[in-house]
Amino acid sequence: MHQRILTLLLAGLLAFCEAVYSDSAGFGCGAVGASLVEDEDIVVVGEYHGTKEIQPLFFDLVCHFRNTTDHRILVGLELSSELTPVFNADYADAAAFSEAVFQSEHWGPYSDGRHSPAMKALLVDLYRLKRANSSELMILGLVEEDWDEEAPGRMDGFIKTQAIDKTFILVGNWHARRTRSQGYDAYPFVHQLRGFDYHIATYDTWAGGGEVWACTEECGPMEVFPREVSNSQQGLYNLGCEGTDECPYDGFLYTDSLSISK
């Protein structure tokens, strides 16, 4: 009886270790359309803050390239730059990482949705992926005052000093635009980033329906404009805008539906 219990405990411990430390165990990495961005230095996804579905799809992209290449990877997020050293410190486990990040004075309230449960889950998954791949992954908080203008130069310096091979960025979809929005004087983050010497592809979020957390005069639920793709398969799609400035995005990241993470 004692032998059987010991055997079961050992089996459980081995399964746990495999899930935490294996390069791919516990990670979907089933990124649809990843081949579209194989040659890009920087891949940007513009999201609706506070939704559940985009973070897992974004993670699948990062995970796919982390597990199929020897790239040093940087992930840029629309979170406080003060969190960058917290993200990249050494921790005993995911619980210690979570406590350090989510109890930090720089981790904000739900507010516009950037600090949602889905974002927390993404960060924990990124930590686990980093731990499983010998730290060949770093996370950069982008937000400071006037960050659309300031962050591209800071990111360029980080990429160079850390010898980063490929960068993935998740920001609000306005910041991910290649072009300035009508009625806005300011240029978005990606427009500024294109002034540096990188191959960049930027993707909007499209969905078949659902609702998002939107902030205009106030923050609250808003129905998303429904869009459809021919095969309704989740993943990246290009719009055929390569080499032109005609489109605000190079393509879109599609999901069947969006829902609020709160």
Mean pLDDT of the chain: 86
With helix as H, strand as E and coil as C, how does 120-186 read? HHHHHHHHHHHHHCCCCEEEEEEECCCHHHHHHHHHHHHHHHCCCCEEEEEEECCCCCCCCCCCCCC
Number of domains within the chain: 1
26 domain-assigned = no
pTM over 0.75: yes
- The 10s digit of each residue's pLDDT in 106-134 is 999 999 999 999 999 999 999 999 988 76
pLDDT digits (tens, 9 = 90+) for 76-95: 999 999 999 999 999 999 99
Residues 191-208 have a mean pLDDT of 95
Residue 18 in domain: no
Residue 165 lies in a domain: yes
Residue 93 resides in a domain: yes
Mean predicted confidence (pLDDT) in 65-83: 94
Place of tokens 């992926």: 129
**Domain extent at residue 230:** 31-255
Q: Which domain CATH number covers 216? A: 3.40.50
251: in domain:
yes
